[in-house]
Structure 1
Amino acid sequence: MVIAIGFEGSANKLGIGIIKDGVVLSNPRHTYITPPGQGFLPKDTARHHREHALSVLQQALDEAKIKPQDIDVICYTKGPGMGAPLVSTALVARTVAQLWKKPIVAVNHCIGHIEMGRLITGSKNPTVLYVSGGNTQVIAYSERCYRIFGETIDIAVGNCLDRFARVLKLSNDPSPGYNIEQLAKQGQKYLELPYVVKGMDVSFSGLLSFIEEKAPELIEKGEYTPADMCFSLQETVFAMLIEITERAMAHCGSQEVLIVGGVGCNKRLQEMMGVMAEERGATLFATDERFCIDNGAMIAQAGWEMFRSGITTEMKDTTCTQRFRTDEVEVTWRK
């Protein structure tokens, strides 16, 4: 029996979760929300994490009904992510590990998402579409590594959605992407947008520039509503993502597809992916916002897998890195 606690703070969500042999005991988080039209800056986000770290930690322990001495391993997000929030969260994890005299494991954020998705859905060996505010990748496991088959060559899909939400001055509560999703349900008129797929990679920056420039003018003229714009944006970017995911599935001979990351909660993305999977005779696996959006339990789960396979991190190596690729990690825990 191994109990792991995970600290996640790579972006605007501070999460601390506790896992006991594949069972989520607690998974509280606190989100830093900025006013409409504004993004979140690293220094302000780091301050938010510092202010709420102890209360979220106490909440995680209380909900799990365990004491510090019951925990076997401390896990934290090494990267990728925003530098200042990563460092402030890692500082808490390092302090706790030394106070409680526990081993520590540095976890790749992307692999945290994948392992959480596999745990919650029960998928065995899926092709993974990982979509969030900072990352967009199509991933499949092969020979002790999560291989990246395709990715964004500029900005992540979540970043694209968030930035367009700022143009429309949509609320950041609970998240700009969620509010775009709700508005898109009312959209009826499709505006053709640049569709950029280059082999297995996608590009969103040109599409974003196009719609940022066109939207205010077309909305003012009454030709399109904000809902139409959100609908058009979602349909286009999701179609691009499903195209490269299907190509990866065909290459791997895969019959499972798993969507992870914050954008993975989007019901329209899940619906479109479900149609593609059904046409291929494949199975779609997806989770809800409890486990898709950044959370501490996913870091605990990945760290739990690593710890059980014999991996720990020396205290001198408990650093953070803003760029930490999914395929840089040796996956020692999978057959």
Structure 2
Amino acid sequence: MIALGFEGSANKIGVGIVTLDGTILSNPRHTYITPPGQGFLPRETAQHHLQHIIPLIKEALKSANVTSIDSIDCLCYTKGPGMGAPLQVSAIVVRILSLLWKKPIVAVNHCVAHIEMGRIVTGAVDPVVLYVSGGNTQVIAYSEGKYRIFGETIDIAVGNCLDRFARVLTLSNDPSPGYNIEQLAKKGGQFIDIPYAVKGMDVSFSGLLSYIEATAVEKLKNNECTPADLCYSLQETVFAMLVEITERAMAHCDKKDVLIVGGVGCNVRLQEMMKIMCSERGGRLFATDDRYCVDNGAMIAYTGLLAYAHGTVTPLEDSTFTQRFRTDEVDAVWRKKNELDTNGNPLM
């Protein structure tokens, strides 16, 4: 079975073609990059996606050596969560192609797609999942047919926090502001205290972002620190918060392994910190690089195909999009049967 998937929930538009065993036949994408110091707005992002989606479809079909549309079993797209205008592009395109090619549609939850892509690429069986991106920050574990959220941000996502601080320093958005913060942080040597906001199983980033924004202006003006010191301090603080709530979820769920997914999951320092915690608990860390951490069409195609293989189809009239689509709203039908945890016991 083969699926064609469309991802366009934020500033990346991607088209992927995947088989049911997880083989990625093609996975091209294009990123909307704004000038330094600027974020991306919904309208301009949607226009970018409209310009690139047709060339990406052609590239994906050619790279996958798909010479006949008959070989494609279903069309999958991101229903949400994400930005409204960019999400609309994929929803419209998938409807048009469904009518033209007479193929069924499968709507996919963006967050769940990250998890399933991470599981198939790394081989993680039943981990606690840390999902960290520009728009989402959640600690997740599978239980009783759904991915349950055990902790999350109560305001902005960690990726949004990093991106907004990159704007303060006018760092480049190419390839991403978070990546450029990571590179600059490697040169930092002075740790500056920043508010540490863990509230039970949840985290808060808006207050510490406001604090470091004010600190940056004052300390940089007085030559008390460097931009590298600020990036280093911000990373160490927010990543320590994420490791803490992930470890708490591991203890609660009695799981030893952790899977990091989402765009911020590419960060090597976050992976290092999480790996230390996992090894101290006798567990393992599973993580991927930017090919799979960053938003892509293959993750949508694969997750949609899993659902399609278990009888899930989205009627044309229901192939809408939503900016708010919770991870724990999805019925993970593909995980309910004949699956064992890391100890060989049936998953409940």
TM-score (norm 1): 0.99
Letter in structure 1 aligned against 2:26: S
Task: Quote the residue 2:30 is aligned against.
Answer: 30
Letter in structure 1 aligned against 2:170: K
**Off by >4 Å, runs of 4+ in structure 1:** none
**TM-superposed deviation, 1:230:** 0.2
Task: Quote the residue 1:18 is aligned against.
Answer: 17
Q: Helix, strand or coil: the match of 2:171?
A: coil
Task: Quote the residue 1:238 is aligned against.
Answer: 239
Q: Distance in 2 between matches of 1:262 and 1:94?
A: 28
Q: Distance in 1 between matches of 2:146 and 2:106?
A: 18
Task: Quote the residue 1:276 is aligned against.
Answer: 277
**TM-superposed deviation, 1:120:** 0.1
Q: Distance in 1 between matches of 2:61 and 2:187?
A: 42
Task: Quote the residue 2:193 is aligned against.
Answer: 192
The answer on 1:63 being equivalent to 2:63 is yes
Task: Quote the residue 2:339 is aligned against.
Answer: none
Letter in structure 2 aligned against 1:184: A
Task: Quote the residue 1:78 is aligned against.
Answer: 79
Q: Distance in 2 between matches of 1:92 and 1:122?
A: 32
Letter in structure 1 aligned against 2:19: K
Matches within 5 A, 1:92-103: 92-103=93-104
**TM-superposed deviation, 1:294:** 0.3
**TM-superposed deviation, 1:93:** 1.2
- 1:118-168: CA deviation from partner (whole Å, max 9, x where unpaired): 000000001000000000000000000100000000000000000000000
Q: What's the RMSD between the two structures over aligned residues?
A: 0.6
Q: Helix, strand or coil: the match of 2:35?
A: coil
Task: Quote the residue 1:53 is aligned against.
Answer: 53
Q: Distance in 1 between matches of 2:270 and 2:240?
A: 9
Q: Distance in 2 between matches of 1:142 and 1:18?
A: 29
What is the number of residues matched between the two proteins?
334
**TM-superposed deviation, 1:58:** 0.6
- 1:149-189: CA deviation from partner (whole Å, max 9, x where unpaired): 00000000000000000000000000000000000000000
Matches within 5 A, 1:135-146: 135-146=136-147
Letter in structure 2 aligned against 1:303: G
Q: Distance in 2 between matches of 1:265 and 1:245?
A: 17
The answer on 1:8 being equivalent to 2:7 is yes
Task: Quote the residue 1:177 is aligned against.
Answer: 178
Q: Distance in 2 between matches of 1:313 and 1:213?
A: 48
Moved more, 86-95 or 308-317: 86-95
Letter in structure 2 aligned against 1:159: N
TM-score (norm 2): 0.95
Consecutive unaligned residues of structure 2, counting only runs of 5 or more, are 337-348
**TM-superposed deviation, 1:212:** 0.6
Letter in structure 1 aligned against 2:77: Y
Consecutive unaligned residues of structure 1, counting only runs of 5 or more, are none
Task: Quote the residue 1:149 is aligned against.
Answer: 150
Q: Distance in 2 between matches of 1:53 and 1:19?
A: 18
Q: Distance in 2 between matches of 1:100 and 1:220?
A: 60
Q: Helix, strand or coil: the match of 1:333?
A: helix
Task: Quote the residue 2:262 is aligned against.
Answer: 261
Q: Helix, strand or coil: the match of 1:310?
A: coil
**TM-superposed deviation, 1:223:** 0.9
**TM-superposed deviation, 1:89:** 1.5
The answer on 1:331 being equivalent to 2:332 is yes
Letter in structure 1 aligned against 2:282: G
